[in-house]
Amino acid sequence: MGGVLHHQPGEASFIILYPNWPLPFANTIGLLSQHLKMESIHRLVFLALIGIFSINNLANAQEQQGYISLDCGMPHNESSYTEESTSLYYSSDADFISSGKSGRIKIEDPEGVEYNIKPYKQLRYFPEGTRNCYNLTVMQGTHYLIRAVFLYGNYDDLKQKPIFDLHLGPNFWTTINLQDQFRFGLIYFEDGTIEEIIHMPKSNNLDICLVKTGTTTPFISALELRPLKDDAYTTKTGSLRAFFRSSFSDSDTIVRYPDDHHDRLWNTYFWPDEWAEINTTTLINTTNAYNLPHAIISKASVPTDAGVSWDIEWSVLAPDGVHVYLHFAEIQALTPNDTREFSILWDEKTIISDNYSPPEFMADTVPIRTSTRCDSCILELVRTNSSTLPPSVNAVEAFVVLKLPQSETDENDVIAFKNIQATYRLQKSSWQGDPCVPIHYMWTGLNCTNTVPSTPPRIISLDFSFYGLNGTIASEIQYLRQLQKLDLSNNNLTGRIPEFLAKMKLLRVINLSGNNLSGSIPQSLLNMQKNGLTLIVQGNPNLCLDPSCGSEARDGNNKKKLLVPILASAGFVGIITAVLLTILFINKKMPSKALHPSMVANKRSFTYEEVTVITNNFERTLGEGGFGIVYHGNLDGNEQVAVKVLSQSSSQGYKQFKAEVDLLLRVHHINLVSLVGYCDEGQHLVLIYEYMSNGNLKQHLSGECSSSPLSWENRLRIAAETAQGLEYLHIGCKPPMIHRDIKSMNILLDNHFQAKLGDFGLSRSFPVGSETHVSTNVAGSPGYLDPEYYRTNWLTEKSDVFSFGVVLLEIITSQPVIDQTREKSHIGKWVGFKLTNGDIKNIVDPSMNGDYDSSSLWKALELAMSCVSPSSSGRPNMSQVANELQECLLSENSRKGGRRDVDSKSSLEQNTSFGPEHIPDAR
């Protein structure tokens, strides 16, 4: 028998031994002067930019996009930081949980390296409440590696290691038992443990809960989430709880990020009496779905006796089966007479493969997925008769299948309830985790259906009696579609009883007594009493209970209606006069600025029925994004529009819908997409924009459009127009706005190829005065995200500048922003790499055939690289960017003798550049 994993304390493979992981390699600065002809001062400036451009920092930030790394217990006011040994960015957990207290370990052990890892020195403990939950925003349908770290360190001076449960949403994950010396865990050490699971969230929110089960206090040191490729670690049901992940080499090094881009933790396990190590320095192709780090795949173990099999055995309680992933690569240069071939056996009887040969210098993964019980698991590699070499294996991962039978509460109900909660500013310490399940943790004030675990529970009762509610009855209540009982009694609610209550057909009891409601009861609600509705409204002194109230109110309305035409006529004349005088006054003050028609356009509110007519029953699709589907429409038979309809499963939802409407109702600029109207009717949320017939910039740069490639002049003009729109958001709006999602897909082109910036759902207002940033959760698109914003959660206008710099690099190169097959995956890092190696020719998009002014192209490239500086202090502002691009365009036009494309009607013809004393006006 070869290796045996009994998961005993003291074995090297399961004791966490953090070596002194090396810091990232120093940046290499190329000497461009040896390769380039320096024609102007711009080249010297560019050299300086390359010299300060921190390629590794940018690469790390981009590779960590989607990562969540929480230092639990870290005070909210402390800045995010880079953990030195791993280059991972950690931030405080305070924004993701509403309970708990901060603690700090009391043990300082120079030999126990885990005690000196910065994220593990602090912790969050939960002396109050039974269930305390982290609420994280994730990508629905994406596989995540979720890791929880627990290091006790006698933080409470009690010397009593705790026992508690860990839940994933409403389902049990594991018991954390630090008193058990035989505890289960991916890695454990004397005073703590690390738990890991691979899980695919079914919604955009994920709850991770610590549940008190005895007298000891739950705590957590760090919480880490890492997105994985969707075609790796797949399961038919449930999730995968990590049992071990080991490479087979004679080393005690633990490998993780940055060597492993997915930040998997790799132990080493070796049986020196039975195995020998082989290794190589030759580069190995690791581009399969599992993307193993070179430090793991470059080593392998073989039996010491070439005539025997390689085997390993472990014991684990796994009633729902195990998943094992065997990672192979042939890392020896074989002669023509050499053959390595073996059979892969599972539990001594199941043949996984009977003549397997690892591919030469290429990683390959063989999965074993079983749904049967495996108390004692045996893996054996048996050499075939035709093989001249013994079997070899590089690494193995073993997981226990963990079924998660309980469905989460219906997502629409959760969203509706949280909106109600926000409306009334309600917060209860027990309102954490899933509102409905497990049933013994159901939130107070609710009752839910939860008879079948596989069916998402629904909220059927809402009891906010004596909750101190103020204001009107929240409209969000109508989105609790299965609500049967509503009790808002004995609060301070004012206003009228809303009509929407009558449309909630399942309601059987409505108790509104003991409030300050006024007006009359809607007749439709009174009619529902005939169908069994119990309506309780006593104790509202200003509420008219007499049926005649309705007719009196209608008579009053009729009288008011007689005044409307008279007042409207007078008012209309006044409004028209005021608008005309305003236009004349503004045009007089700004002869060089052109007003965009949307300044005086009427933003209409449409019904959903009207939207159906406009889109001809949603006949023609223009595209699809995170918000939903965009349809082509015709307004009044002669105006083409784009109609964006919110999907019920949208990751954006009502908050972003409202943000976009609010912004577009008050900002007006020729280079921002104009909002024609919107629909906010029940669950139907729709935005109607002006139609942009030439699609988006990304389609033209990627070759998706059949039209000829964009000329350098058109590319510069599109960049300059986009910069002006963004400049307007930054300094022309009051308050200033940060877009937060600048990317080539959001730069739209009209029939004259004029650029207009769109998609404002993530936009945020920017502080004025002494404040320098907005502290907010990270949002944006992979590849375009500012690494400094990602690292610190501090959003500034320079975050938009970084994203714009990435777009400008796209415009120059027509390269994808992230391409794993390039020498450097991120476009900023790739351009920097090419420049430091003097490879200039292959940066510029070859489809332009050299038809460009070299001075303007160099200047644009310098500008782009300064925009993507990892430090915001090294980036220009958008006014500087807009001015630089105008100069580039003028230089290109001069080369062509002032000629412009026939279809190029640029806003640059209408606008002068902005000096430091100017701010852009509404155009």
Count of C-beta atoms within a 10 Å radius of residue 110: 7
**Known binding site: residues?**
644
**Known binding site for ATP: residues?**
644
Angular region, 455: left φ>0, alpha ψ -120 to 50, beta rest: beta
Enumerate residues 6+ apart whose C-beta is below 8 A from 746.
Answer: 696, 757, 758, 759
Separation CA 435–CA 239 (nearest Å): 22
Separation CA 680–CA 658 (nearest Å): 9
Would you name the residues annotated as active-site residues? 741
Separation CA 55–CA 836 (nearest Å): 11
Instruction: Give the pairing type, strands 639-646 and 684-690.
Output: antiparallel
Burial group, residue 584, by CB count within 10 angstroms (0-12, 13-18, 19+): exposed
Of the CA atoms within 13 Å of residue 895, those in its CB half-sphere come to 14
| Closest C-alpha to 836, from 26, 43, 56, 50 | 50
Separation CA 341–CA 665 (nearest Å): 69
Question: Sign of dihedral through CA atoms 133, 134, 140, 146?
Answer: negative
Alpha-carbon Rg for the chain, nearest whole angstrom, is 32
Cα angle 223-412-145, degrees, rounded to a multiple of 5: 25
Q: Which residues of 270-303 are buried (b: 16+ CB within 10 A; e: fewer)?
A: bbeebbbebebeeebebebebbbbbbbbbbbbbb
The answer to whether 669 and 732 are in contact (CB under 8 A) is: yes
Instruction: Give the pairing type, strands 470-471 and 492-495.
Output: parallel
The answer to whether 457 and 477 are in contact (CB under 8 A) is: no
DSSP for residue 407: P
CA distances from 173 to 85, 95, 165, 848 (A): 29, 23, 8, 56
